Amino acid sequence: MRIACVIDRFVAGKGGLEVWLAALASRLAGGGHEITLLSADRTPPRGPWLHRPLPARGLTRGGRIRDFAERARVECLRSSFDVVLGLRHCLSCDVYAPHGGSVESTRAAHRRARRRPVPLLGRWRAFLALERSLLGGGAPPRLVIAVSESVRRDLAGRYPGVADRIRVVPNGVDLSRFRPGDREKARARLAPGGGGVVLFLAANPRLKGWRHAREAFRKLHREGAASTLLVAGGAPGRLPPGGRYLGFLERPEEVLRAADVLLQPTYHDPFPLATLEALACGTPVVTTEQNGALDHVGRDGPVRAVSDPADVDGLAAAARELLETAPREEARTRAEEFPRERSLAAAESLLTKEPYGGGSDL
* Strand bridging mode 95-96 / 83-86: parallel
CA distances from 308 to 113, 273, 362 (A): 11, 21, 29
- Identify the bridge partners of residue 229 per DSSP, sorted by sequence position: 198, 243
CA atoms within 13 A on the CB side of 317: 6
Say how many C-beta atoms besides its own lie within 10 A of residue 148's C-beta: 24
pLDDT band at residue 358, thresholds of 50, 70 and 90?
very low
Which residues have C-beta within 8 Å of that of residue 320, sequence separation ≥ 6? 220, 223, 225
Q: Fill in the DSSP letter of residue 339.
A: B
Query: What kind and span of H or E run contains 310?
Result: none
More confident: 193 or 134: 134
For residue 81, pLDDT beyond 60:
yes
Q: Fill in the DSSP letter of residue 44.
A: P
- Report pLDDT for 250: 85
Mean pLDDT of 241-266: 95
Give domain limits for the chain. 2-172+340-352, 183-335
Q: Fill in the DSSP letter of residue 16.
A: H
- Report pLDDT for 89: 86
Among 10-24, 78-92, 135-149, 167-181, which stretch is predicted with the lowest mean pLDDT? 10-24
Q: How far apart are CA 113 and CA 245, in angstroms?
A: 21
Strand residue runs (E) in the chain:
2-6, 34-39, 50-53, 83-86, 95-96, 143-146, 166-168, 197-202, 228-233, 243-247, 261-264, 285-288, 303-306
For residue 114, pLDDT beyond 90:
no
For residue 16, pLDDT beyond 50:
yes
- Report pLDDT for 360: 40
Say how many C-beta atoms besides its own lie within 10 A of residue 313's C-beta: 11
Q: Which of 43, 39, 40, 30 is nearest to 4 (CA)?
A: 39
> pLDDT of 294-348, one tens digit each?
999 999 999 999 999 999 999 999 999 999 999 999 999 999 999 999 999 999 9
Cβ(169)–Cβ(230) under 8 Å?
no
- Report pLDDT for 353: 83
- Report pLDDT for 355: 54
pTM (global) more than 0.85:
yes
Q: 122-136 and 103-114 helices cross at what angle (nearest 10)?
A: 150
Q: How far apart are CA 286 and CA 280, in angstroms?
A: 15
Task: Outline where 281-327 has alpha helix (H).
Answer: 294-297, 312-325
Q: 312-325 and 210-222 helices cross at what angle (nearest 10)?
A: 60
Region at 264 (left for phi over 0; alpha for psi -120 to 50; beta for the rest): beta
pLDDT band at residue 119, thresholds of 50, 70 and 90?
low
Q: How far apart are CA 137 and CA 146, in angstroms?
A: 19
2-172+340-352 and 183-335 share one fold = yes
CATH class (in words) of the domain with range 2-172+340-352: alpha beta
Output the average pLDDT for the chain.
Answer: 93
CATH superfamily membership of 183-335: Glycogen Phosphorylase B; (3.40.50.2000)
- Report pLDDT for 118: 59
Dihedral, 99, 94, 26, 54 alpha carbons, nearest 10: -90
Cβ(350)–Cβ(169) under 8 Å?
yes
Cβ(85)–Cβ(94) under 8 Å?
yes
Q: Which amino acid is at 229?
A: L
